[in-house]
Amino acid sequence: MSGAMSSASYVPERLDHLGIVAAVCREIGLAEWLDAQDEHTHERVSVGTATVAMILNGLGFSNRRLYLVPQFFATKPVERLLGTGISAEDLSDDCLGRALDWLYAHDPTTLFAGIALQARQRFGIAARQVHVDTTSFSVSGIYAPEKPEKSEERVPEPAAEPAAGDLDAHVVAITYGYSRDRRADLKQWMLALATTREGDVPLFLRPLDGNTSDQVSLLAAVEALADQLRSADTAAAPVAAGSQEPRLFVADGGLYSEAAMGRLNAAEIAWVSRVPATLNAARTALERRDDTAWQTSADAQTQWWSQELAFPQGRERWVVVRTHSGERQARATLERQASTAQDEWRKRLWHLSNRPFACEADARAALAQETKTLPAWLHVHPPQVRIEPRYAGRGRPRPGAVPASQEIFITTTCQVDEQELTRAVERAASFIIATNVLDGAQLADEDLIAIYKDQHSVERGFAFLKDPLFLASSVFLKKPERIMALSLVMVLCLLVYRLAEHRLREQLAATHQTIPNQVKKPTNRPTMRWVFQCFEGIELLHIQQGPAPPTSLILRLTPLHQQILALLGPTYEQFYESSN
């Protein structure tokens, strides 16, 4: 008996949360879809399998670069996650490099559109409201351009603006540009991303040059995504496609311009955008002080008023919004600025009061010139003019001496005008949302405000992609082509993460169940990061006893794990089942 026990071999492997990640990829059909696009594959590890491996590495939150993927999988159940016959040694940097080259050659934007469509259909994700934005990713390295850059002094003609499909027709330029990461010293590349309101699920990606303008990239992204979704709707239901509720595209002020809105209106694309406060019409709207026009939300936290305006690009509905939280923040900021500015202006006016002038007119003119840039919320007291005689010679003048000349001094100070400061706070706390959906019955003002506030949906996606534990928080790739392919892998990681999170939250709400959060309180809206942490420590133990078939046992699976897997579905439970 003891001899039989001594002949047994035990091999433990860390499964953790990777079974959930692999199950999402399987439910999407990600590997199969990519392999179907590769009709000439003869590799041991297919493009689809290599891509799933990179997603597992990215969502492993191990902060390992792609060339360390074999090390990452050395302690993982590779065959259970990726398929029979696949080992960690097969996932070499050459294998993954070839996969990245293939992804680039087949256009990351087009590939992701097909995968996202299939994922939406299988997970039942609606895409009636889409949020679009861009961000930048800084890189270290030279990344010299293949051909000389154009002179910065050359101003492009308006007609040369690229069309919707032209932005991905070339390799992205890794170059300097406006950095969202505040790293202007580093070169960068940019990424356009679109997500759904329901579940924050990504629908669209496009890698961009490091100095791409938002007015160009956002417009192109909206037009391209609108075409993709229309084609998908038509293919799914050709008869009903034209009768569906209009899809709404939401973006920040970088999208808004006369030319961009004109193109979207001509294409019959419904849009929502913030209006830049620098426009003359926006300034006029923000300065309006008709208090009777403001409406208040039920919770008394938001106020707004709206108007319909006619512009060369078409008619628009503008909603001017002001929130109490925005007012508090604006007041705190302006009060700090006012305190500092008051001290600085008092010093400037003191120095002015010590400057002699030949006449009173010169003194008053100098005061007017000095206070030209005075903030509206600083009030200058009425100035006092004093005349000081100047005598010839040194020392105290004799009684009755006549002054040889006289000097004029002007003295004043300033203080904060509380009424003007309050007006400035109200202006700073107000912003304008515009849309070409004019019918308030179809889209009420209050719903429009809520839709725009959901713009943080896409911003949460960017925060996920820039997480220090994510695979691409630092990019270590020499070729811009592979960076473009890596952007696809990055957003596929986000897609898998959001789909799992959406499915779990949806099932928890539907079944009226909860799971404990980080502080042991029940929640039906857990983050997938927390769920992944709950699955840490789950192992797959392989037992081989002589010639008998091996046995695989799942260790440390608790009732909480079983509850989560049951909510996610049978595909997920299969990855955590013991087997012979």
Q: What is the pLDDT of residues 517-538, one digit of tens each?
A: 999 999 999 999 999 999 999 9
Q: Are 176 and 98 in contact (CB under 8 A)?
A: no
Q: Give the torsion sign (CA, 301, 201, 495, 476).
A: negative
Question: Considering only 162-171, 261-270, 339-348, 565-574, which range has the smallest mean pLDDT?
Answer: 162-171
187 and 114 in one domain?
yes
Question: Considering only 75-84, 346-355, 401-410, which range has the smallest mean pLDDT?
Answer: 401-410
**pLDDT for the residue numbered 153:** 40
469 and 350 in one domain?
no
**pLDDT for the residue numbered 430:** 93
Q: Is residue 227 part of a domain?
A: yes
- Is the predicted pLDDT of residue 579 greater than 50, yes or no? yes
47 and 129 in one domain?
yes
**pLDDT for the residue numbered 379:** 93
Q: How confident is the model at residue 64 (pLDDT cuts 50, 70, 90)?
A: low
Q: Is residue 290 part of a domain?
A: no
Q: Is residue 379 part of a domain?
A: yes
Q: Which residue from 546, 500, 578 is spatially nearest to 20, judged by alpha carbons?
A: 500
19-39 mean pLDDT: 94
Select the more confidently predicted residue: 575 or 64.
575
**pLDDT for the residue numbered 204:** 95
Select the more confidently predicted residue: 165 or 13.
13
345 and 244 in one domain?
no
Select the more confidently predicted residue: 300 or 241.
300
**pLDDT for the residue numbered 472:** 46
Q: Are 321 and 445 in contact (CB under 8 A)?
A: no
Length of the chain, in residues: 580
Q: Which residue from 412, 413, 410 is spatially nearest to 359, judged by alpha carbons?
A: 410
- Is the predicted pLDDT of residue 192 greater than 80, yes or no? yes
Question: Considering only 382-396, 416-430, 431-445, which range has the smallest mean pLDDT?
Answer: 382-396
- Do the strands 129-139 and 248-251 form a parallel or antiparallel pair, or are they unpaired? parallel
244 and 133 in one domain?
yes
Q: Are 148 and 182 in contact (CB under 8 A)?
A: no
Residues 82-133 pLDDT 10s = 999 999 999 998 899 899 999 999 999 999 999 999 999 999 998 899 999 9
- Is the predicted pLDDT of residue 291 greater than 60, yes or no? yes
Q: What number of CA atoms fall less than 13 Å from residue 531's CA on the CB side?
A: 30
Q: How confident is the model at residue 189 (pLDDT cuts 50, 70, 90)?
A: confident
Q: Which residue from 491, 530, 528, 529 is spatially nearest to 195, judged by alpha carbons?
A: 491
Q: How confident is the model at residue 470 (pLDDT cuts 50, 70, 90)?
A: low
Q: Is residue 206 part of a domain?
A: yes
- Is the predicted pLDDT of residue 1 greater than 80, yes or no? no
Task: State which of 521, 539, 564 marks the end of a domain.
Answer: 521
- Is the predicted pLDDT of residue 166 greater than 60, yes or no? no
Task: State which of 470, 495, 521 marks the end of a domain.
Answer: 521
Residue in the structure block whose two tokens are 């500092």: 340
397-403 mean pLDDT: 81
345-355 mean pLDDT: 94
Packing angle, helices 559-568 and 18-28, rounded to 10? 10
Q: Mean pLDDT across the chain, nearest whole number? A: 87
Select the more confidently predicted residue: 580 or 401.
401
Question: Considering only 27-31, 64-68, 237-241, 543-547, which range has the smallest mean pLDDT?
Answer: 237-241
Question: Considering only 39-43, 139-143, 201-205, 418-422, which range has the smallest mean pLDDT?
Answer: 39-43
**pLDDT for the residue numbered 167:** 42
Q: Are 183 and 199 in contact (CB under 8 A)?
A: no
Please give the tally of structural domains in the chain.
2
139 and 41 in one domain?
yes
472 and 417 in one domain?
no
**pLDDT for the residue numbered 161:** 43
**pLDDT for the residue numbered 292:** 63
110 and 52 in one domain?
yes
| Cβ within 8 Å of residue 113, ≥6 positions away | 204, 228
Q: Which residue from 247, 246, 264 is spatially nearest to 255, judged by alpha carbons?
A: 264
Q: Is residue 68 part of a domain?
A: yes
* Residue 187 CA from chain centroid, whole number: 19
Q: How confident is the model at residue 156 (pLDDT cuts 50, 70, 90)?
A: very low
395-400 mean pLDDT: 82
Q: Is residue 230 part of a domain?
A: yes
510 and 465 in one domain?
yes
**pLDDT for the residue numbered 155:** 39
Q: How confident is the model at residue 43 (pLDDT cuts 50, 70, 90)?
A: confident
77 and 212 in one domain?
yes
**pLDDT for the residue numbered 174:** 85
- Identify the bridge partners of residue 251 per DSSP, sorted by sequence position: 273
Residue in the structure block whose two tokens are 């889209």: 443
Task: State which of 469, 501, 521 marks the end of a domain.
Answer: 521
Residues 205-226 pLDDT 10s = 999 988 888 889 999 999 999 9
* Residue 344 CA from chain centroid, whole number: 38
Q: Give the torsion sign (CA, 140, 141, 142, 144).
A: negative
- Is the predicted pLDDT of residue 165 greater than 70, yes or no? no
Rounded CA separation 165/160 (Å): 14
178: left (phi over 0), alpha (psi -120 to 50) or beta: beta
217 and 138 in one domain?
yes
- Do the strands 295-296 and 314-323 form a parallel or antiparallel pair, or are they unpaired? unpaired
**pLDDT for the residue numbered 205:** 95
362 and 246 in one domain?
no
**pLDDT for the residue numbered 333:** 94
pTM for the structure as a whole: 0.85
Q: Domain of 516?
A: 15-146+163-252+455-521
Q: Are 572 and 20 in contact (CB under 8 A)?
A: yes
Select the more confidently predicted residue: 474 or 245.
245
